[in-house]
Structure 1
Amino acid sequence: MKWTDAEGDSLSGKNPYRFVVKGDVELLAHFALSSYEVSLSAENGRIKSGRGVYPYNTEVKAEAEANAGYHFVKWTDAQGDSVSGNNPYRFAVKEETAVNAYFAINDYRVSLSAADNGTVASGGSTYAHGAKATATATADEGYHFLKWTSASGGALSEANPYTFVVTGNMAVQAHFAVNSYRVKLSAQNGRIKAGDGVYAYDTEAEAEAGEAADGYHFAMWGNEAGQQVSFANPYRFVVREDMKLTAWFVRDNSSGGYKVSLSAGSNGAIKSGDGVYLPGSEVKIEAGAYAGYHFVKWTRADGSLFSAANPHTFIVTEETALRAEFEKEPLTGFETLLGVEEAGVYYAEGALHLVNLEGYFISVGTIRGERVLQFTADGAEYPAVLPAGVYILTAAKWKERYAVMKFAVKK
């Protein structure tokens, strides 16, 4: 703004303008259009256009663009008050203006489904952009999880549970496949004709025993546990797990039965199973170990392994002689010994079990030195109730024989 005279010469840029009058005066006031700055800002996005300095009443076009995973919500002024929900936003400049573009994070829907033979346990919901979602599927009986696919059928993952980052609306489907099981057939004193193989879950299989060895005939099918399964041949059944079946053949003219002869060494005894049985009968044999020993295995007359199970069930198809084998229990502590061979101690079933310590004066104390027992051993066992912990046993017999052993009592 300025003042000029009649000839257009500048007189002053001040307003008000003070001067001394000395004659007639003609003054002209001159004005210019004002300009204002428009400041634009954005979080989680960027300004595309609109920043700058504009003359008064000029129309400005402010436009913003959201970052990935966000969307435009509104424009706000310097005080945070809403100005407009339009983008781009057009307005006339009449003063210094500061406007902020406000963006919000996107929410996406994750939809889960399951194809036949299974269910979806978790995962379907609404998630913010960048959040992690976990999808879990459960297969029906006889089936197993195979993979996750997208709505278009594209493979996503074979992991279950499947954790992924959500970046858009998603439809995820779980797929399942039928289990396959092995049916393994064997024969005693005969051969298998058909049925051995791999079967899909719930498929009907047919096991057929073939020709018997000379002097034998088919008796039954038995399972891996030695139990009778079927007397039919062929035997039809539905496969729902891995199976091992044995075709048992028995001697001709064996109606009088078979003898099962059981024996045990000096460190154990036979509890049950010895006797005469009809061909094809289930027999349960059991042996018991003496104190300080444990059962190891059943062996045949030729020393070969028959079974490591005790008790053990099997099907009688011939005369059978078995022996129960035992081993000494390992000592639970250490020993420092003078004049005593293979001495030891362990605690089991509410009693101290003493090895080669008969006639010794026994003292038992805690690891801290507290004495809890004193007695003279007159056998292999001494009843005692000891809390869980570590103990020291001292054994003395005459001056020249002395033993110190540590043992543990477990809960």
Structure 2
Amino acid sequence: VVDLEAIADQSYQFVEWTGDNGTIADTTANATTITMNGSYTIRAEFDITTYTLDISSTAVGNVIEPGEGSFEYDDGTMVNLEAVADEGYHFVEWTGDNGTIGDLTANETTVEMLNDYTITAEFEINTYSLTVDSTAGGNVIEPGEGTFEYDDGTMVNLEAAADEGYHFVEWTGDNGTIGDVTANETTVEMLNDYTITAEFEINTYTLDISSTEGGSVVAPGEGSFEYEHGTTVDLEAVADTGYHFVEWTGDNGTIGDVTANETTVEIFEDYTITAEIEEMAAEYYQLTVEVEGNGTVDIDPDQNEYEEGTEVTLTAIPDADWNFGEWTGDHKGEDAEINVTMDEDKNITAVFEEEPTDEYELTIAIEGNGTTEPGEGTHTYENGTAVTVEATPADGWQFSEWTGDVPEGQENETEITITMDMDKVVTANFEEEDTTLFDVGITNYDEEVVKGENVTIEYTVHNPTDKVVTEDIILIIDGERVVVQEDVTLEPGQEVTLEYQWEAEDAGEFTISTDDEDDPDPVTVTVEEEDDGMDMMLIGGIVAVIVIILALIGYMMMKGGEGSETEMEEETEEMEELETDEEEETDEEELDEEDETMEEGSDEEEMEEETEEEEMVDEDIEEEL
């Protein structure tokens, strides 16, 4: 028995053993056996491998190459694929056994046949974007405004609603499939991406205006006028002489005041209105003429009452050394003779002015720190002279304004011009500048000190600007502005730490803050009264020394001449030394009181020294005795 095995090349397959195959165990198996009962000739038969390609598609499209169904291909064959979508649909991808398809998302591609495959062409309906907006004066309520997605062929309802006072005009943009472009309610068929706009326009209305006999409408006139919705139109009716305006009639519901000849009408619809004018009975009016200053007025004709429309001539006649100035009241003007038409009661005043003198005084005053040119004081000028006055602020001050007899419109100018036609007084007002640029913050300080000691205040100064700045540093101590460091110069962004010693002269609590009204972190320093205990100790020591000296003197007097002159001198020297020691101790104590930072240990040492000295004196006295 001989083993047989046939191996196919790539893309081929074993078929069968042919020839003298009678004793072959399995002629269709590539690996089998043959029983050798004689001489045999056998042949291994091979065929190329073939595979089945099953192709289908979803609805709304089909595969046109190679078609749809089952197809046989030799191993390794590159098969062209092409899928075509129906109208309104699009190809999506090839699904199934798609591992050897060139591009799954391309409707035209290839598949390499390396096995049996089943593939499907997938289609989907097209979707399109509908972008809807509107102009001013309304909006789209169906489907709304914005961007919406619809399947191909969808009929979308459109509805546009106009605001009050507006009306819909048409749909513009991609309006080719809109049912009725001029209807605010219609449809659009989605066959592509569309952008459409609902166009609105403001309503316009007609205003018809007329008047009755005896006058006319001068604003806006008489006739027909077109206005947009909501427009406020000025109305003015003028009556002829002998007539008067009565009221506006017709569509007068939106007229501001129907009885006023000058009023307004707000346009919301078509309106027809009429200015009603009537003839009036004769009216009589009074003319009151007054005089201010020295002069008279000639009235022609001079009557108690005047019929409406009467023209009266007034002539102003000044007294000696006086001039006519002007008319005030119900007539304004500077002509000495005027004509007044009596259409109402009138009150007119003739103003007379005294003739000007040759010279006038200009008094200049100053409020704040600054100077003027001419300087502060009283100056005399001829009538009509134009005097230029200039204000210059002092350092740290700025000009604020002029007050007094200042020409209108020049109050805030540093340089003004005054025409001398009367005595005048002006004041230049200056105010302190607030130009602090540095940021100052207190970082450390002595919270409690004794009166007379120095309070150490540590603070930081920061230049927040983008330039070199030089400024004085100011702290607010107990409500007073104190310059703690002059002319500090910092580079842009630079910050330094500085220290200031403030002498606490009074007891109490004191607030210290930066030169900033809004300083959020003011600090408080407590200053206590001086401790009198050391003074009492010094007084006690001095009293003790005096007692000892007096005792020595008494002792010496009792001893009389018993002691030698030398002993007397030695005792005197000892007394002087004691007095000197006491004086030195007193001086040292006074220095210690001025030194506010002295330690309590120093006081104790001095007390011990005083005690030792007192003990030495006691020993000397005992020796003498």
**The structure with more helix, counted as a fraction of residues:** 2
**The structure with more strand, counted as a fraction of residues:** 1
Higher RCO (Cα < 8 Å, 6 or more apart): 1
TM score, norm. by length of structure 2 = 0.33
TM score, norm. by length of structure 1 = 0.47
Larger Rg: 1 or 2? 2
